[in-house]
Structure 1
Amino acid sequence: MRVVVADDAVLLREGLVRLLGENGFEVVAAVGDGPSFVDAVLANRPDVSIVDVRMPPSHTDEGLRAAVEARRLVSGTPILVLSQYVEVSYADDLLADRRGGVGYLLKDRVAEIGEFVDAVRRVAAGGTALDPEVVAQLMIRRRRDPLATLTPRELQVLQSMATGMSNAAIARTLVVTDGAVEKHVKNIFTKLGLPPDDDQHRRVMAVLTYLSR
Structure 2
Amino acid sequence: MRESLRAVLGEDQPIVREGIAAILRASGIDVVAAVDELVRAAEEHDPDVVITDIRIPPRLEADGLDAVRKIRAARPETAVIVLSQFLDASYALDLVGDDPSGVGYLLKEKVASPQILIDAVQRVVARDSALDPDVISALLGRQRPQNPLETLTPKERQVLALMAEGHSNTGISQQLFVSVAAVERHVTGIFTKLGLSQSASGTHRRVLAVLRYLGQ
Shorter-chain TM-score: which interval?
Answer: 0.5 to 0.7
* Residue type of the alignment partner of 1:125: A
Where does 1:85-164 land on structure 2 (aligned, <5 Å)? 85-98=86-99, 100-143=101-144
| Equivalent-residue separation in structure 2 for 1:69 and 1:134 (angstroms) | 22
Which amino acid in the other structure matches residue 15 of structure 1?
G
Query: Are 1:13 and 2:17 matched, yes or no?
Result: yes
TM-score (norm 2): 0.60
Matches of 2:100 and 2:88, distance apart in 1: 20
Number of aligned residues: 141
The equivalent of 1:209 in structure 2 is none
Aligned counterparts, 1:71-90, within 5 A: 71-90=72-91
* Alpha-carbon distance between aligned partners in 2 of 1:48 and 1:79, rounded to the nearest angstrom: 5
Tell me how far 1:76 sits from its aligned partner.
Answer: 4.0
TM-aligned CA deviation for residue 115 of structure 1: 2.4
CA contact (8 A) 1:61 1:87 kept: no
Partner of residue 3 from structure 1, selected from 7, 10, 13: 7
Structure 2 residues without counterparts, runs of 5 or longer: 146-216
Task: Tell me how far 1:99 sits from its aligned partner.
Answer: 5.0
TM-score when normalising by structure 1? 0.61
Residue ranges of structure 1 left out of the alignment (5+ in a row): 145-213
Contact 1:2–1:25, Cα closer than 8 Å, also in 2: yes
Structure 1 segments (4+ residues) deviating >6 Å: none
Identity %: 44
- 2:94 and 2:134 map into 1 onto residues whose CA distance is 17
Contact 2:49 2:80 in 1 (8 A): yes
What is the rounded CA distance, in whole Å, between the counterparts of 1:115 and 1:17 in structure 2? Answer: 14
Kept in 2, the 8 Å contact 1:64–1:91? The answer is no
Q: Which residue of 1 aligns with 2:49?
A: 48
What's the C-alpha RMSD, in Å, of the aligned pairs? 1.8
